[in-house]
Amino acid sequence: MGAITLAGCSSIPTSGASSAQITRAAESPSGIQIVDVTEDVARQLFADRNTADFVTALGDGASFRQQLGVGDTIQVSIWEAPPATLLVRLSRKGVRGRRTRA
């Protein structure tokens, strides 16, 4: 019975990429530019805040423009790199320290 139950889990759809998809993406980034958002980058973007988009502000100058329209759906994922300050563990009561409560 346990084998049947575990086999059933493989047919459930997942949210997000599989480890194989992530590995393939890392091997062939296909034009993806990763930008470390440092203080200098933030200042440049603030100074160029009247610019239409990040591509123009960061100087790549690509001609492709993606626009969202009515009915479009987007998904945003946020990963946190050390030092971990955004996502923290809470106690069973949902408390971290004296002030943070979930």
pLDDT for res 44: 85
pLDDT in tens, 27-66: 655 666 777 888 898 888 887 776 556 666 666 555 666 7
pLDDT for res 77: 81
pLDDT for res 31: 64
Q: Regarding predicted confidence, which is higher, 42 or 89?
A: 42
pLDDT for res 52: 59
Percentage of the chain lying above the pLDDT 70 cut: 33
Tokens of 41: 């980058």
CA end-to-end distance (rounded Å), the chain: 38
Greatest C-alpha distance within the chain: 63
pLDDT for res 20: 72
pLDDT for res 30: 62
Cα 19 off chain centre by: 16
Query: What is this structure's pTM?
Result: 0.24
